[in-house]
A and B are shown apart, each in its own frame.
Chain A
Amino acid sequence: MARYGMVFDLKRCIGCNACVIGCKQENSLPDGVFFTRTLSEEYGVYPAVNRVYIPTLCNHCEDAPCEKVCPSGATYTRPDGIVMVDPEKCIGCGSCAVACPYDQRSEMKAEAFKDGLFGTGELTDFEKQGYPRYTPGMVTKCDFCSGRVDAGLDPACVVTCPTDARIFGDLDDPNSKPSKLIRERGGKSPLPEKNTRPKVYYID
């Protein structure tokens, strides 16, 4: 069984946010909800100033705190390591959201589903086909586009990235691209002191 993970190559990320748009489109996300973000940071002192882009998404932690605190059993980990949320079981209590050190949970507010992307109360065809996968009021997150992964495809953010800054694959396969990158370029985990053992790594 594979153990899926992702590597972000910070040297390649140009902050175009195509991944964000690809994700929103693939997952039919309502207004204001993002499963992935590309954060930016400026550092240094003029004239030696630099800007770095840091993509973020759910880290699909081995020891996922969101799964541990979920009182309804809605959050669970698949055998391939993808941390999922069952929309039928989620009660929207938000305990997963305050337990995630990476702030990667999103509230699917009921109003967003009623108002629609344009705030007119009329849903577009795009919204009508996408929203039934969510329960209004639930708290959810990135699932590595599990439907695409099951079909043998990469997540939408990975295929949308024009610079190959996002690399997805099996971390248990030593010959997979992410495994090689982590090994050769020293992949770093976000907030390692939180002991969540993320399956997302950063290389720079």
Chain B
Amino acid sequence: MAANDLPIVGDSFKLGFRLQRYWDTPMASAFFFGELGAGLFLVSLLLESAQGMLAGLLITGLLKTYFHLSHMGVPTKSWRAILRPDRSWISRGLIGIVCFIGFGGLHLLNVWGFVPGFGGLLKLLAGAAALVVMTYQGFAMSHSTAISLWSSGLIPVSSLIYAATGGVMLLLASVPESAQFLVPVALLLHLCLAAVLLSLLHAARHGSPGARKSAELLTRTLYAKWFFALVCGAGVLLPILLLWFAGSVPLAAMIAAAGTLAGYYTFRLLIFKAGVFEPIMSFRP
């Protein structure tokens, strides 16, 4: 009974689409830094870069935690979020973060020679926990059917690919010697990103009225200029061009990384802002 031509009504007493307003900038920042740190850690783990792993742990451990706590209505009780892993992706993710920081830290100490033994096991556990942190936020969003734009299997995929891309680009910008191996990987990941973004928009445009309204917000109205300029332009096209033509030049890699991260952060923000609740019913003919 929902009509497609209903307006966005904000918080008013009118019937229509309502913008999601509960998860905003602090939560988007927490998601961004959580995924970015875990992605950087995983890529650094594979390339055995201790500095990269340390940076990844710090980004997730400090920045994600800070932004999560600043979002929480009752931060002093935040520990309770760990209590329902049987049903909540937030709980599972929190356990993943604790394991990530714990096993990641132990692995790093092992690499530096402070903790002897269990090197392979710690590496495996730290990598698995990083993978959980890279994806769980996507599952937390896609698990719910309330916001049609989010209710898609592409959301966790986008989390995983963005996290991996962010990690690869940060490492590429900070360790230019790794360019020979990382540039092709980065190019491939950016192409995957383009495919995921196109698929997400295509699914939204052919989905429920709420999903179509979200696609309209992203591509035609309120957020279109940000989406095209930052998410698509700076976040995907610019890095592809720079990596393709000048991937081994450190300055180009740094500009490409900055573009990727700007696009990534904007995507995280806009995917929250463009989420809408469907009107419960409509009498429009």
Contacts and interface: CB of A to CB of B under 8 A. Distances in A.
Interface of A: 17, 32, 37-41, 43-44, 50, 52, 54, 56, 65, 68-74, 89-95, 97-103, 105, 107-110, 135-139, 188, 190-191, 193-195, 202
B285 A69 contact: no
Contacts of A193: 208
Interface string B203-226: 000001000000000000000000
A56 B89 contact: no
A76 B23 CA distance: 22
A54 B73 contact: no
A71 B145 contact: no
Interface residues of B, number: 47
Given A98-B144, A101-B277, A71 B94 contact: yes
B281 A190 contact: yes
B281 A89 contact: no
B14 A41 contact: yes
A100 to B, nearest CB: 6
A93 B83 contact: no
Interface in B242-285: 275, 277-278, 280-285
Nearest to A69: B88
Contacts of A37: 13
14 contacts: A69-B90, A72-B80, A72-B81, A73-B83, A90-B73, A91-B77, A93-B78, A94-B23, A98-B20, A103-B146, A137-B72, A188-B281, A190-B280, A194-B146
A202 B1 CA distance: 12
A71 B14 contact: no
B143 A90 contact: no
Nearest to B210: A101
Given A69-B143, A107-B73, A43 B84 contact: no
Given A38-B13, A188-B1, 14 more contacts: A41-B282, A54-B15, A71-B81, A71-B90, A72-B77, A94-B73, A98-B144, A98-B275, A137-B72, A138-B74, A139-B73, A190-B281, A194-B146, A195-B145
B84 A39 contact: no
B149 to A, nearest CB: 11
B82 interface: yes
Given A54-B281, A91-B72, A91-B73, A73 B80 contact: yes
Contact of A98 (B22, B74, B281): B22
Q: Which 4 A-B pairs have the closest CB atoms?
A: A92-B73, A137-B73, A72-B80, A71-B90
Contact of B144 (A32, A65, A72, A108): A65
Nearest to A87: B74
Interface of B: 1-2, 11, 13-15, 18, 20, 22-23, 27, 71-75, 77-78, 80-84, 87-91, 94, 140-141, 143-147, 150, 208, 275, 277-278, 280-285
Nearest to A45: B285
A70 B73 contact: no
A101 B13 contact: no
A110 B73 contact: yes
B165 to A, nearest CB: 25
B284 A43 contact: yes
A13 B69 CA distance: 43
B278 A41 contact: no
A92 B74 contact: yes
B284 A69 contact: no
Nearest to A43: B284
Contacts of B1: 188
Of residues A94, A107, A135, which shows the largest number of chain B Cβ atoms within 10 Å of its Cβ?
A94
Contacts of B20: 98
B280 A44 contact: no
Contacts of B285: 43-44
Contact of B140 (A17, A32, A90, A95): A95
Contacts of B145: 65, 101, 194-195
Contact of B82 (A52, A69, A71): A71
Contacts of B143: 69, 99
Contacts of B284: 41, 43
Between B2, B80, B94, B280, the greatest number of chain A beta carbons within 10 A of the residue's beta carbon is seen for B280
Nearest to A103: B277
Given A93-B73, A94-B73, A41 B283 contact: yes
Contacts of A139: 22, 73
